[in-house]
């Protein structure tokens, strides 16, 4: 076995050697440093060590990469949540099958790559989520990280696009360099360009000094353009040139400079529709959308809600608990503001609640406080689906005012349907 276990030392990530019937035979040093050493004498099984299960993962409702690799005969990957000395960690697991001379499956090498930001103790930059949809997002983010391709993150406001951009950066070979962010929304063309490209002294009124732009600062690292859908058509042309050639000119300068950055863009807008309307360049969309990752809204991954509530409570501090009823209520709530909204609701509930137990009544007060116009009626039971829909649309209306197109886009319905539903609200209120 010693020879085989030596193979593991060649991997620069935590690695274990497992038999076809789940027994761990060896671990490498990186594994023991990261997850603690395993007593190999006790014939440990991988599902017991990583999950505390008494049966293989597939029988406990999880995907089993070992089983998948057994049946395909190829290497397989899956994103798992492991119990580790650091708590629950999202780990990208890769199983490499090893065959003997008779082509019989003998062992698996299991490589375990913890996902940056999704591990360890609660902090504001920690990613939380147990749902299949969220794990799929993390799996894609960690897998695309190692390549250098441009990534487009799509999702409603507050779904965690910026956090996922950080995961990609931190899991990439550029992690030691900076990730530089430009929030494009609300910036004029001139400002975006001088922020991105920098400017020469005297290039325009107020340019008292020479300035290095974000493109230069992201050399060797990652450039994150948030709300790329808000960039004007003429700036889009300059972005296209930058992305294609990795060269740029400072504002007011003729010298051509180069920068080696990895590009991640994010948007909560439907860029394909914008292309159809002539508001976004198709060639730019192709360039930035080499690898798209869509982050589903929170209402479509309600399995994440209990863990997120727990996480938000630990950030607030104190000894607060949500009752089962309150958690269930939030699982049916539409969350137009997604995780950012959940964070605010939890925070408000801890302030409003008179004890450390947050029940449905206290929760409704916290929700009502957020949705100014919706005054508290004596809602003691769960609202119907219809009521929830109306509540959601009302919240959207407060958020986006008269911008019906945006409301319809965020709600994922046609403009016509939106008008019909709004009419219903007016009749009810
Ligand atoms: N999976 C997650 N676990 C814990 N917190 C999260 C998660 N996703 C997002 N958050 C938190 O929700 C808030 C919004 O996240 P973020 O800014 O990344 O969203 P966004 O999609 O980029 O929003 P916007 O489109 O408005 O820029 C942040 O406070 C972030 O810490």
- Per-residue pLDDT tens over the stretch 29-53: 999 888 888 888 888 888 888 878 8
* C-alpha separations of 279 from 89, 172, 293 in Å: 41, 32, 22
pLDDT of residue 358: 94
Would the CB of 311 count as within 6 Å of ligand 1? yes
Answer yes or no: is pLDDT of 152 > 90: yes
Ligand 1: nearest atom to the Cα of 165? 18
Q: For a ligand 1 pocket test, name from 271, 340, 344 the mutation site with the most ligand atoms within 8 angstroms of its C-beta.
A: 340
CATH architecture of the domain with residue range 132-294: 3-Layer(aba) Sandwich (3.40)
Would the CB of 339 count as within 6 Å of ligand 1? yes
Residue 316 backbone zone (phi > 0: left; psi -120 to 50: alpha; other: beta): alpha
Answer yes or no: is pLDDT of 235 > 50: yes
**DSSP 8-state assignment for residue 35:** H
CATH architecture of the domain with residue range 298-428: Orthogonal Bundle (1.10)
pLDDT-based confidence at residue 392 (cuts at 50, 70, 90)? confident
Ligand 1: nearest atom to the Cα of 127? 3
- Mention every residue, 6+ apart, whose C-beta is less than 8 A from residue 46: 16, 18, 22, 23, 24, 66, 110
Most confidently modeled range among 3-12, 117-126, 325-334: 325-334
Query: Bridge partners of 17?
Result: 26, 109
Residue 71 in tokens: 């049946």
How far apart are alpha carbons 107 and 177 in whole angstroms? Answer: 38
Measure 127 CA to ligand 1 centroid, in angstroms.
Answer: 9
State the average pLDDT for the chain. 86
Q: In the chain, what percentage of residues exceed pLDDT 90?
A: 48
CA-nearest residue for atom 16, ligand 1, is 160
Ranges in the chain annotated CATH 3.40.50.300? 132-294
How far apart are alpha carbons 44 and 17 in whole angstroms? Answer: 11
Measure 221 CA to ligand 1 centroid, in angstroms.
Answer: 22
Ranges in the chain annotated CATH 1.10.8.60? 298-428
Ranges in the chain annotated CATH 3.30.450.20? 2-114
In this structure, the number of other CB atoms found within 10 A of the CB of residue 11 comes to: 16
Measure 160 CA to ligand 1 centroid, in angstroms.
Answer: 3
Q: Are 244 and 237 in contact (CB under 8 A)?
A: no
Measure 178 CA to ligand 1 centroid, in angstroms.
Answer: 20
Measure 339 CA to ligand 1 centroid, in angstroms.
Answer: 6
How far apart are alpha carbons 26 and 13 in whole angstroms? Answer: 14
Q: For a ligand 1 pocket test, name from 133, 162, 343, 406 the mutation site with the most ligand atoms within 8 angstroms of its C-beta.
A: 162
Q: Does 2-114 carry CATH code 3.20.20.370?
A: no
**DSSP 8-state assignment for residue 237:** H
pLDDT of residue 284: 97
pLDDT digits (tens, 9 = 90+) for 65-110: 888 888 888 888 888 887 777 777 888 889 899 888 888 888 899 9
Phi first, then psi, for residue 247 (nearest 5°) are: -120, 160
Higher pLDDT, 389 or 52: 52
Measure 215 CA to ligand 1 centroid, in angstroms.
Answer: 24
Q: Is the ipTM of this complex over 0.95?
A: yes
Ligand 1: nearest atom to the Cα of 342? 12
């Amino acid at each position: 076995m010693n020879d085989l276990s030596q193979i593991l030392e060649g991997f620069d990530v935590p690695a274990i050697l497992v038999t076809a019937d789940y027994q761990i035979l060896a671990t490498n040093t990186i594994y023991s440093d990261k997850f603690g050493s395993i007593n190999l004498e006790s014939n440990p099984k991988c599902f017991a060590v990583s999950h505390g299960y008494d049966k293989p993962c597939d029988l406990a409702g999880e995907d089993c990469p070992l089983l998948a690799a057994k049946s395909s005969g190829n290497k397989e990957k899956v994103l798992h949540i492991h119990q580790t000395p650091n708590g629950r960690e999202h780990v990208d697991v890769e199983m490499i099958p090893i065959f003997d001379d008779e082509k019989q499956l003998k062992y698996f090498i299991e490589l375990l790559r913890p996902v940056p930001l999704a591990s360890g103790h609660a902090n504001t930059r920690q990613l939380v989520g147990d749902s299949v949809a969220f794990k799929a997002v993390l799996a894609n983010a960690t897998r695309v990280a190692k390549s250098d391709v441009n990534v487009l993150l799509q999702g409603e406001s507050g779904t965690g696009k910026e956090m996922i951009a950080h995961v990609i950066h931190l899991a990439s070979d550029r992690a030691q360099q900076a990730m530089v962010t430009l929030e494009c929304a609300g910036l004029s063309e001139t400002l975006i360009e001088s922020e991105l490209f920098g400017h020469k002294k005297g290039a325009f009124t107020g340019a008292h000094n020479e300035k290095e732009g974000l493109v230069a600062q992201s050399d060797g690292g990652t450039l994150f353009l948030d709300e790329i859908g808000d960039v004007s058509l003429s700036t889009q042309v300059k972005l296209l040139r930058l992305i294609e050639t990795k060269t740029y000119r400072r504002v007011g300068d003729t010298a051509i400079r180069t920068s080696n950055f990895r590009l991640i863009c994010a948007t909560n807008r439907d860029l394909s529709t914008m292309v159809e309307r002539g508001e976004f360049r198709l060639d730019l969309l192709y360039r930035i959308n080499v690898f798209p990752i869509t982050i589903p809204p929170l209402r479509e991954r309600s399995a994440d809600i209990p863990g997120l509530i727990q996480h938000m409570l630990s950030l607030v501090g104190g000894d607060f608990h949500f009752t089962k009823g309150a958690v269930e209520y939030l699982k049916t709530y539409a969350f137009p503001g997604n995780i950012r909204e959940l964070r605010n609701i939890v925070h408000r509930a801890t302030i409003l609640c008179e004890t450390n137990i947050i029940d449905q009544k206290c929760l409704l007060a916290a929700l009502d406080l957020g949705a100014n116009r919706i005054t508290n009626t004596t809602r003691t039971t769960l609202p119907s689906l219809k009521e929830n829909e109306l509540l959601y649309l009302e919240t959207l209306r407060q958020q986006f005012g008269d911008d019906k197109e945006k409301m319809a886009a965020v709600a994922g319905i046609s403009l016509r349907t939106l008008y019909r539903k709004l009419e219903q609200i007016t009749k009810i209120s």
